[in-house]
Structure formats: C-alpha cells, structure tokens
C-alpha cells in the first residue's frame, strides 16, 4: 500500500470518528472527484463498510442498499447547490436580485451539515457505551442488590448470603430490568416443584449447612488453596446443632 493510500485510509477513519481536519476532508474529496479511479471506488466501499459496522454495533437497522448514488443525483438536481457562492453573496448583499428566496438556499446545506453532526455524535455515544465497563467494585455492589432481591420468603432461613429459590420460579430472562447488572442470562435450573408443607425449613437449612461444611473440609484437603475453603463456611453453629 502506498503512502498516499495509507494517508487516505487514516483520513477516512478520522472522518468516521468526526475528527478529520479540513485538510483531510479535502484530501478524501479530491480523491473521490476522480469518480472511477480504483482508489475512489475502494474509499466509497470502505466508507460504506465502516457505517455498516457502526450501525450493527449500535443495533440500528442495517441495509445493504446503496443510496449514495441516488442522494448524489438528488443533490445535483437541487438548484440551490448549483449556485456559485460568489453569486450568492452578491445576491444577498442586494447587488444581484435573481431567482429563489434566500431562506431556502441558505438553510439547505446548513441542515445537512447539522444532521450529519448529530448522527455522528449519537453514533459515537452508542458505540462507546457497551465498551464502557463499570469497574469491578461496583460489580460487587450490583450483585448484592440482586441477592437481596432474590432472597425472599423461606430463603431467609438459610445462612446469610444464600439464595434458595425453593420453588423454581420460571422467569423469562430479560436483561432490561437489571440495567446491565446481569449481562449473561442465568440458566434456569430444572428443579422439580415440591410441596413445601412436606419439608421443614429448619431441616432443609440444616441439611444445606451440613453438606456445605463437609464440602469445605474436603475442599481444604484437595483444592491446594490453603485455608480459603474454610473462609467460605457461613456459620458453624448451625452445623454442630
């Protein structure tokens, strides 16, 4: 790839990020003037791909249809764009009094420029959002909120910090409610529905504490992680009861 091509590519991605200097924009436009040069075709294709990717990332609808030709034709056929800027100034200053009303002719290009800027700003916000990870400390806090939410009813009988959905609530997984706290939908366990009246909560709680404690001492012997498994045990009183 030649230096020129490299520079063009850089300019193009700068323009995509809305950070291109006037010089860079002019460089691209100049290249595009040579309508059918291979480079111009490539730039156009690249520009389209960049936008496609950005639309896909921000979950906008993606279309494979190329409107650029049609838009260019439409602009070409618009009289206000064909006017020589010098003529415009002269006309506005009253030296030349010809043709269409002033309002339309000046609002046209301005509106296009403004809408391009708006799209660029929105686009950038949408792209940067999913990448902006919240830090780890807040993750811990968010998990806590969820834990509180799930610890309802009989679950409160269990050692602190334990969530026990006794009857499996088949919930539809929706990420929207949690505002990103759970990015990965939790698998729903297929646990047979049970008749709660048959089982004493106390017994279930004791059973849980018992198997947890036994597991922890097995883990201490086998996990190679020194005393960490013991730290996991919630409360020992429950175990020895």
Contacts with other proteins, residue ranges (CB under 8 A): 136, 139-141, 143-144, 147, 158-166, 168, 183-184, 186-187, 189-192, 194, 196, 198-200, 203-204, 207-208, 210-237, 239-240
Q: Helix 3-16 and helix 38-57: axis angle, to 10°?
A: 30
Q: How many angstroms separate the CA atoms of 171 and 165, rounded?
A: 12
Closest residue by Cα to residue 209 from 173, 169, 177, 237: 237
200: left (phi over 0), alpha (psi -120 to 50) or beta: beta
Q: How many angstroms separate the CA atoms of 230 and 220, rounded?
A: 7
Q: DSSP assignment, residue 132?
A: -
To the nearest whole angstrom, how small is the minimum distance from the Cβ of residue 175 to other proteins? 13
Angle at 170 between CA 165 and CA 174, to 5 degrees: 105
Q: Which is nearer to other proteins, 43 or 213 (CB)?
A: 213
Could you identify the residue written with the tokens 């990448």?
131
To the nearest whole angstrom, how small is the minimum distance from the Cβ of residue 193 to other proteins? 9
Q: Which is nearer to other proteins, 7 or 218 (CB)?
A: 218
To the nearest whole angstrom, how small is the minimum distance from the Cβ of residue 134 to other proteins? 10
Q: Which is nearer to other proteins, 6 or 143 (CB)?
A: 143
Q: Which is nearer to other proteins, 97 or 227 (CB)?
A: 227
To the nearest whole angstrom, how small is the minimum distance from the Cβ of residue 221 to other proteins? 6
To the nearest whole angstrom, how small is the minimum distance from the Cβ of residue 135 to other proteins? 11
Task: Count CB neighbours of 121 within 10 A.
Answer: 11
Q: Which is nearer to other proteins, 100 or 129 (CB)?
A: 129
């Amino acid at each position: 790839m030649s230096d020129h091509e490299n520079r063009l590519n850089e300019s193009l991605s700068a323009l995509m990020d809305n950070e291109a200097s006037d010089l860079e924009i002019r460089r691209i436009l100049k290249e595009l003037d040579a309508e059918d040069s291979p480079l111009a075709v490539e730039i156009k294709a690249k520009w389209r791909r960049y936008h496609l990717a950005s639309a896909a990332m921000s979950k906008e609808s993606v279309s494979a249809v190329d409107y650029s030709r049609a838009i260019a034709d439409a602009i070409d056929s618009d009289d206000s764009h064909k006017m020589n800027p010098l003529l415009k100034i002269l006309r506005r200053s009253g030296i030349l009094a010809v043709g269409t009303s002033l309002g339309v002719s000046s609002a046209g290009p301005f509106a296009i420029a403004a809408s391009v800027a708006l799209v660029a700003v929105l686009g950038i916000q949408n792209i940067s959002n999913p990448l902006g990870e919240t830090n780890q400390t807040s993750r811990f806090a968010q998990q806590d909120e969820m834990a509180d939410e799930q610890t309802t009813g009989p679950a409160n009988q269990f050692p602190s910090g334990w969530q026990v959905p006794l009857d499996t609530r088949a919930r539809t997984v929706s990420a929207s409610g949690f505002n990103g706290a759970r990015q990965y939908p939790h698998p729903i366990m297929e646990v047979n529905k049970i008749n709660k009246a048959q089982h004493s909560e106390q017994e279930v709680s004791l059973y849980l504490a018992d198997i947890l404690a036994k597991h922890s001492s097995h883990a201490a012997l086998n996990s190679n992680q020194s005393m960490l498994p013991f730290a996991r045990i919630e409360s020992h009183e429950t175990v020895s009861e």
